[in-house]
A and B are shown apart, each in its own frame.
Chain A
Amino acid sequence: MDLVFTNIVNGLMLGALYAIVSVGLTLVFGIVKVINFAHGEFLMVSMFLVYLVTTFFGVHPYFSLILVLPAAFVMGMLVQRLLIEPLQNSDEHIMIFATVGLSIALINLMLLIFGPDILNTPSSGLRQPVNIGSGMFLTGQLNILICAIAVVGGIHLFLTRTQLGRSIRATGQNRSAAQLMGINVSWIYMVTFGIGAACVGLAAVLIAPLYPTSPEVGQYFVLLSFVVVVMGGLGSITGALVASMIIGLVDAFAGFYLGANVKDLVVFGIFLLVLIFRPQGLFGGARNLSHVS
């Protein structure tokens, strides 16, 4: 029983981690209709930024948010403007290659600059364990959980309650109709991409003190992000949150009982089953897929 509780706590913490990384990915997909294969590299670059700011100024890692958040936002906007927008009307596969190319370029750029070594952002007390019964987690992990829920709720409110949010949703549902309503679609896409990237920036600030930073770190997270985002229904933010928790729990239990590598088999096995049998996600209707095919 204790073990089960330990794993549940562990799973929820992992789930929160996947959720905070995936929110931006699913938002961008839902609105811009692009699966951003470079999403993990946004996280990786942001984590390097957190490391640099934290070590250079000697501040608490959370402090770097002031710089990292706008930087990530601008990075997202630039990628949309310079890479995605020129390809808006081309084939689907072209878009895949574009972001795949960006992903490879960013990984190797960081490899060129920082080398293959692992960098550790100072944890500044965020690795302090908290015990609840047999469960144990780090304070930093708890912060991730809180932020994940806050971000999902915040984006939901933003999309439903503000004029900009409504414009974003309108653009996501029908680009031409939104354009006819006087919405500057190109700007909306840039803003959306920016917000998606900023979510990753926030994730990086929260993750960097807990996990080592390396050029490959994005690859590790992005595959799991794809899993939860597809499971939750591409474009559905709350779906992604729920799916993150499910995958987090699966991850924790499978990792505990079956070992680290077999755990990956289980996760990817679930992913493939979802892709093949419910490509619209576990919770979404067929609607989520309609704009993809």
Chain B
Amino acid sequence: MPSQKQTTRAPALLRALGVDNSADMRGTLYVLLLLAALLLTPIVVGDDFVYHVFITICLFAGLATAWNIVGGFAGQLSLGHAMYYGIGAYTGMILVNAGITPWIGMFVGAAVSAVVGVLIAYPCFRLKGPFYALASIAFLEVFHVLAIELKWLTGGATGKMVPLQVGWEWMIFRERLPSLIIVFGMLCFTLVVAQVIRHRRLGFYLIATRERESAARAAGIPTVRVRIYAAAISAALVSILGTFHAMYLTFIEPDAAFNLVFSIQIVLFALVGGIGTVFGPLLGAILLVPITEISRGLLGASALGLHGFVYGVILMLVVVFMPDGIVRVLPQRLRAAMDPEEFDDTRGEALDDEAMGEMHPESVKTGERPPVGREVLRVDHLVKNFGGLAVTQDVSLTLREGEVLGIIGPNGAGKTTLFNMLSGFLAADGGSVAVMDANGNVHQPQTPADFVGLGVGRTFQIVQPFASMTVEENIMVGAFHRHPGVDAARAAAREIAEELGMARYLHEEARNLPIGGLKRLEVARVMAMRPRILLLDEVMAGINPSDLLEAIRLIKAIRDTGVSIIAIEHVMRAVMDLSDRVVVINSGAVIAEGDPETVVRDEAVIEAYLGKEHGNA
């Protein structure tokens, strides 16, 4: 099924927003229609209450969209986002009382919120799931208490009012229309920001980090930094909406501004619409806000708690019956509109191994093999202990340019630990790893990012796909290392996929690939980074015999482009065929080294694999 992506090219302005084909353009049209309805309905109806409902929809849609940048894209479940809303509200309110217009105040609040967001995100980036949620609640409570305690600034528990001044410069109006226009503009701005992030490198990096942090680091993603960016952007956007809302309400108090239930409402809209999608939160707010606002409007105080009860019940029903949100149950076309990046994945049927069999690369280009060159990687006396267990004892080895070095050894010999030290995932207890850059200068990289920067790429023995991303997006994450632009990265990813015979599956979600496909994806992702030094951790394991030949040819082809390779491998046929030299590791120490034929006859090696008696036999 040919992709529709290349049929029409969208205009440059739209392409900047991630709208790059006819389907995306159709999606944009739907979204624009929806937004137009949001703005025009109250104007046409003209009723004050209708205005109020639509203003509230825009507000919550904006808040949920902004939350989604952290909660959806980055996967960090913040239940404390009301604190940025509160900071924005209070900053605007305090400044307006000091005679400074909220048009400036909202940016001051945004700056404060962004700083707070960064200060919170930095220590918390390691916390996952419920722990992150708990931390965010605790921070919210801290701000709640501060808002009550810092009376000279915030007016304490009684709250703060705007001075009586009306007009555009104070963002306070007698009629509702200007407020609607302002909040609608803020919503559109937030949607544009979310859309741009999702379609640029940052969005890919955030989702990759959410899906598999270690694979993301191996792809050279600065995982901490991208999360901090997301936190700052999200906090600033929420804060701006907070400033607006304070002016709209003309009054704020700590209990309302730093409110946990308010935080949860924001999350609820995103969840109902579809977490991690760009336009899902908008949809969630459009669907839910009217229900609750109307019930509140009709029943008033007599139904205290009713709308909260409805929220709670909807939340439970959604997670049980529709955990991916409304976007996922929309018909294909509408869904494409709300979630443009995902529109073209196939129906999501799992591929079987037979289907993968058709993935043979038709022609792996084999060129002339360049001669083995100078040293590119040198390991000296590497030592690593886990507690009392010496996993790596005094391992030394070297790798030359264009060479394939095979590493074999029984299970538990410490091969993967060695790889982890050769890629910065583990710090060695002793010894050193030196990598020469393209100009021959010697470096001693420490972190995964350092290694990636020097052109060291690795695969993982246990495959680590970004499961919810398509094959193309997975490879793009690697390609971004060299091509910051989305278009260039996409082109590079397609090229790699073509080379590795995965072109037909570009738009398949990685979670649907069988193991052989995932292994290949692992290689494709690292190849997209165009590494100079490639560390392959058992890429042949579990491949069927006919694919094995193909895989061997593929690695030879990679080698012939001048890439130096270290391969951990159990499949002896591959080891014998590929390796220029073989290093045998047992119990963390090198027990033999040399060309493949010599090594397999080595007595110590036979003993290590088969035991002493066989060695003597």
User: Hey, which bits of chain A sit against chain B, CB under 8 A?
Assistant: 35, 83, 86-87, 90-98, 100-112, 115-116, 215, 219, 223, 226-227, 230, 261-262, 264-265, 268-269, 271-272, 275-276, 279, 292-293
For the complex of A and B, the 7 pairs showing the least CB-CB separation, nearest first, are A105-B312, A101-B315, A111-B305, A108-B308, A104-B312, A92-B129, A108-B305
22 residue pairs bridging A and B, Cβ less than 8 Å apart: A83-B320, A92-B129, A100-B79, A100-B315, A101-B312, A103-B312, A105-B311, A105-B316, A108-B307, A109-B305, A109-B312, A111-B308, A112-B303, A223-B138, A227-B138, A261-B149, A265-B146, A268-B141, A268-B145, A275-B135, A275-B138, A292-B130
Check B145 against A272 for contact (C-beta < 8 Å). Answer: no
Contacts of B152 in A (CB 8 A): none
Q: Which positions 140-160 of chain B face chain A at CB distance < 8 Å?
A: 141-142, 145-146, 148-149
Query: Does B261 sit at the interface, judged by CB under 8 A?
Result: yes
Residues of A with C-beta under 8 A to B287 = none
Distance of A94 Cα from B318 Cα, bound (Å): 9
User: Taking each of A104, A105, A268, A272, which has the highest tally of chain B beta carbons within 10 Å of its own beta carbon?
Assistant: A104
A104/B311 in contact, CB under 8 A: yes
Q: What residues on B are CB-neighbors of A215 within 8 Å?
A: 305
A157–chain B nearest beta-carbon distance, Å? 29
**Per-residue interface assignment for chain B, residues 255 to 290, with 1 indicating a CB less than 8 Å from any chain A CB and 0 otherwise:** 000001100100110010001000000000000000
Q: How far is the CA of A279 from the CA of B133 in the complex (A)?
A: 13
Q: Cβ of A94: which chain B residues have Cβ within 8 Å of it? A: 319, 323
Chain A residues near B303 (CB, 8 Å)? 112
Residue from A92, A93, A96, A264 having most chain B Cβ neighbours under 10 A:
A93
A272 contacts which chain B residues (CB < 8 A)?
A: 135, 138-139, 142
By a CB distance below 8 angstroms, the chain A residues around B264 are: 100, 104
Listed residue (B124, B127, B145) with the most chain A CB atoms within 10 angstroms of its CB = B145
**Given known A93-B129, A112-B309, A262-B149, contact A226–B134 (CB-CB < 8 A):** yes
A268 to B145, CA, bound (A): 10
- The chain B residue sitting closest to A215, CB to CB, is B305
Main secondary structure of the interface of B (DSSP, over half): helix
Contact among A93, A102, A112 for B77, CB-based, below 8 A: A93
Residue on A nearest B305 in the bound complex, by CB: A111
Q: When chains A and B are docked, how far (Å) is the Cα of A95 from the Cα of B128?
A: 13
Contact call B319/A98, Cβ cutoff below 8 A = yes
How many angstroms from the CA of A103 to the CA of B126 in the assembled complex?
27
Residues of B whose CB lies within 8 Å of any CB of A are 75, 77, 79, 123-124, 126-131, 133-135, 137-139, 141-142, 145-146, 148-149, 260-261, 264, 267-268, 271, 275, 303-309, 311-316, 318-320, 323
A residues in contact with B131, CB < 8 Å:
230, 275, 279, 292
Measured CA separation A106–B124 after assembly (Å): 30
Q: Which residue of B lies closest to A91 (CB)?
A: B323
A265 engages B309 (CB within 8 Å): no
B79: which A residues are within 8 A, CB to CB? 96, 100
User: Is B129 a contact partner of A96 (Cβ separation < 8 A)?
Assistant: yes
For residue B123, which residues in chain A have a CB less than 8 angstroms away from its CB? 276
Asked if B127 and A275 make an inter-chain contact with CB atoms under 8 angstroms apart, the answer reads yes
Q: Which residues of B lie under 8 Å from residue A93 when comparing CB positions?
A: 75, 77, 129, 275
| CB-based contact B315/A106 at 8 Å | no
The distance from the CB of A102 to the nearest CB of chain B, in whole angstroms, is 6
Give the residues in chain B near A104, CB-CB below 8 Å: 261, 264, 308-309, 311-312, 315
Kindly provide the distance from the CB of B2 to the nearest chain A CB, expressed in whole angstroms. Answer: 33
Q: CB-CB < 8 A to A86: which residues of B?
A: 320
CA distance A98 to B308 in the complex (A): 15
For residue B120, give the distance in angstroms from its CB to the closest CB of chain A.
9
Bound CA–CA A227/B135 (angstroms): 10
Interface of A (DSSP majority class): helix
Task: Give Cα A117–Cα B180 distance, bound, in whole angstroms.
Answer: 36
Bound form: Cα–Cα A70–B77 in Å: 34
> When the two chains form their complex, are residues B271 and A279 in contact, meaning their CB atoms are under 8 A apart?
no
Which residue on B lies nearest to A114, using beta carbons? Answer: B305
Contacts of B313 in A (CB 8 A): 101, 105
Known: A87-B323, A292-B131. 15 other contacts (CB 8 A): A90-B319, A92-B129, A96-B129, A98-B319, A98-B320, A101-B312, A101-B313, A101-B316, A104-B312, A105-B309, A108-B311, A111-B305, A265-B149, A271-B134, A276-B135
Determine the distance from Cα of A111 to Cα of B309 in the docked complex, in whole angstroms: 9
Q: CB-CB < 8 A to B149: which residues of A?
A: 261-262, 265
| Shortest distance between the CB of B315 and any CB in chain A (Å) | 3
Task: Report yes or no: B312 in contact with A115, Cβ–Cβ below 8 A.
Answer: no
How far does the Cβ of B166 sit from chain A's closest Cβ, in whole Å? Answer: 34
- The listed residue (A91, A230, A293) touching B134 by CB distance below 8 A is A230
Known: A269-B142, A276-B127. A35 touches B304 (CB 8 A): no
A253 to B315 alpha-carbon distance, docked (Å): 40
- What's the minimum C-beta distance from A105 to chain B, rounded to whole angstroms? 3
A265 to B142, CA, bound (A): 6
| Interchain CB contact under 8 A, B128 and A292 | yes
Is B312 touching A112 in the complex (CB atoms < 8 A)? no
Smallest Cβ-Cβ distance to B76: which chain A residue: A93
Known: A35-B130, A292-B130. A97 touches B311 (CB 8 A): no
Question: Which of B141, B264, B318, B319 has most A Cβ within 10 Å?
Answer: B319
Q: From A100, which residue of chain B is reached at the shortest CB distance?
A: B264
A205, chain B: closest CB distance, angstroms: 25
Q: Given contacts A112-B303, A292-B130, are A261 and B145 in contact (CB under 8 A)?
A: yes
Contact across chains for A116 and B304 when beta carbons are under 8 A apart: yes
Q: How far is the CA of A106 from the CA of B312 in the complex (A)?
A: 8
Residues of A within 8 A of B318 (CB): 97, 101
Residues of B contacting A269 in the complex (Cβ-Cβ under 8 angstroms): 142
Given the contacts A92-B128, A93-B77, A93-B129, A101 and B319 also touching, CB distance less than 8 Å: yes
Quote the shortest CB–CB distance from A101 to chain B (angstroms): 3
Known A112-B305, A276-B135; contact A98-B316, beta-carbon cutoff 8 A: yes
Q: Considering the chains assembled together, what is the distance between the CA atoms of A252 and B127 in angstroms?
A: 29
- Shortest B387–chain A CB gap in Å is 12
Asked if B145 and A262 make an inter-chain contact with CB atoms under 8 angstroms apart, the answer reads yes
